[in-house]
Amino acid sequence: MDDRNATAVKESFQRAFSEAKAAFGDGSLFVEKFIERPRHIEVQLLGDNHGNLVHLYERDCSVQRRHQKVVEIAPAPAFPAETRKKILDDAVRIAKYVGYNNAGTVEFLVDKKGNYYFIEVNARLQVEHTVSEEITG
């Protein structure tokens, strides 16, 4: 980072701190990593009351307009097998850890290097479930 960018970042933090302090009485800030052009990957899960939990593979929901999904593709095209296995295993691991038993979706962002970042779990059957049904029968 050059000096000009460092100065801009410092000024932005100071401005954000001041705005938060004025609006909420607390200047605490939360910083997230910026991921340039990530892929939005979702893993559909099904769990029962007996501890059984399976994934129904992944969907690529990266094509969006105004944060609304426009196209969902399954399986995710040009998705490295190693990353696919890790993300599917981790989605199941997350759900098992909390004793999940329902239909649900674990969502991740994946960067260009194949690193992935947990976004959220949606504890419901999503509209995109039909895309998963097409590839799993």
Q: Catalytic one among 15, 37, 39, 124?
A: 124
| Residue 135 DSSP label | H
Which amino acid does the sequence have at 136? Answer: T
4 among known catalytic residues: no
Cα 8 to Cα 29, 34, 50, 110, distances in angstroms: 16, 16, 54, 28
Mean pLDDT of the chain: 92
* Beta carbons of 59 and 73 less than 8 angstroms apart: yes
Check residues 129 and 60 and name the one with the higher pLDDT.
Answer: 60
Confidence of residue 128 (pLDDT cuts 50, 70, 90): confident
Tens digits of residue pLDDT in 5-22: 888 889 999 999 999 999
* 80 token code pair: 């490295």
Name the residue with tokens 């991921």.
Answer: 35
Which amino acid does the sequence have at 51? Answer: G
Predicted pLDDT at 135: 82
* 74 token code pair: 């399954």
What is the H or E stretch that residue 58 is in?
Answer: strand 53-65
Cα 64 to Cα 15, 44, 91, 121, distances in angstroms: 31, 19, 22, 19
* 76 token code pair: 């995710």
Q: Which of 23-27, 57-61, 68-72, 125-129 has the lowest mean pLDDT?
A: 125-129
The reply to whether omega before 75 is within 30° of 0 (cis) is: yes
